[in-house]
Amino acid sequence: MTSEVDIANMALQAMGTRSTISDFSEQSNEAYNVNMLYARARDSLMTQAFWNFTRATRALSVLKAWPGTPENPSVTGATAWSSDWPPPPWLYEYAYPADCLRARYVVPQQYYDTMPNPPLTSAPGVVNWYSFTGTPVKFVVASDTISETVQNVILTNQPQAILVYIRRVTNPDLWQPNFVDALVYNLAARLTIPLKGDRNLMADNYKLSAQYVQEAQLMDANEGLASTESMPDWMQIRGIGSSWEGYNV
């Protein structure tokens, strides 16, 4: 398996140095710069494409809710906005996941329903299923002071919100090969100035990294579900269809 040290040494090779490192914490100029730049290069690269291995889904934790919502049914009689509530015009404020690098979209909450089997089925009775309503809902990422600490939050009007986001994945064993290649050249580009001082080489390595990112976008799109432009009526009636066209799900 490719380790973080292997990636660092490949980056050093790509930027033209014959030096290698055995550990990020060793006492060398190469290790010092790798240790300073590696995590930033990795996290930045993960946000540049919808890598399949970074996709994560989480039910969000409510931090604040507008008075009158089920989460905050109290009626205060206040005539002015309070910082105890989400900022207008949002009804809910949710905690930003600690491992989130980039929020992609908020998913409406599922619901459980039953309906009679439609005609032309072999099993009369009722059908029980989980379903989702509507399209992904609007949200914004903001900051707020929670327990005297400024932190990122997610504002939306969606109750019981579910977030689909780009997760920070630090284990190289979970990475796609083209992400490893992109990271090697991205890290090499960042290391070029402090170790070599060659701006042309830096630019070349950034171009190579961008090529692998573009390649990954095409591969990941082909690996996902194909969109259906026309959904049969019988599928829509049974809750199988949805209006998610245009979203990279």
| Tens of pLDDT, residues 23-65 | 999 999 999 999 999 999 999 999 999 999 999 999 999 999 9
Task: Give bridge partners of residue 143 from the DSSP assignment.
Answer: 152
Instruction: Note down the domain range covering 141.
Output: 60-174
SS3 content of the chain, % helix, strand, coil (to 5): 35, 25, 45
Using alpha carbons only, give the angle 212, 188, 181 rounded to the nearest 5 degrees. 30
pLDDT at residue 231, as a whole number:
47
Q: Is the overall model pTM greater than 0.95, yes or no?
A: no
Contact 187, 124 (CB under 8 A): no
Minimal CA–CA distance to 56: which of 168, 134, 157?
168
Is residue 4 domain-resident?
A: yes
Considering its fold, how many domains does the chain have in total?
Answer: 2
Is residue 127 domain-resident?
A: yes
pLDDT at residue 73, as a whole number:
87
Is the domain of 7 the same as that of 101? no
Is the domain of 68 the same as that of 107? yes
Is the domain of 209 the same as that of 131? no
pLDDT beyond 60 at 123 = no
pLDDT at residue 128, as a whole number:
55
Is the domain of 5 the same as that of 83? no
Is the domain of 159 the same as that of 209? no
Is residue 163 domain-resident?
A: yes
Is residue 121 domain-resident?
A: yes
Is residue 75 domain-resident?
A: yes
| Tens of pLDDT, residues 128-177 | 555 555 678 899 999 999 999 999 999 999 999 999 999 999 999 999 99
Is residue 81 domain-resident?
A: yes
Is the domain of 79 the same as that of 137? yes
Is the domain of 127 the same as that of 73? yes
Query: Phi first, then psi: what are they for 190, rounded to 5°?
Result: -70, -30
Q: Average pLDDT in the 56-75 region?
A: 91
Contact 185, 208 (CB under 8 A): yes
Minimal CA–CA distance to 184: which of 22, 42, 16?
42
45 vs 188: CA distance, rounded Å: 13
Task: Give bridge partners of residue 95 from the DSSP assignment.
Answer: 153
7 vs 42: CA distance, rounded Å: 11
Residue 201's H or E segment, with its range, is helix 199-223
Crossing angle of helices 177-195/199-223, nearest 10°?
170
Is residue 84 domain-resident?
A: yes
Is residue 55 domain-resident?
A: no
Residue carrying structure tokens 């796609």: 176
Is the domain of 169 the same as that of 69? yes
Is the domain of 16 the same as that of 118? no
Residue 44's H or E segment, with its range, is helix 29-46
Which parts of the chain fold into alpha helices (H)?
Answer: 4-14, 29-46, 177-195, 199-223, 233-237
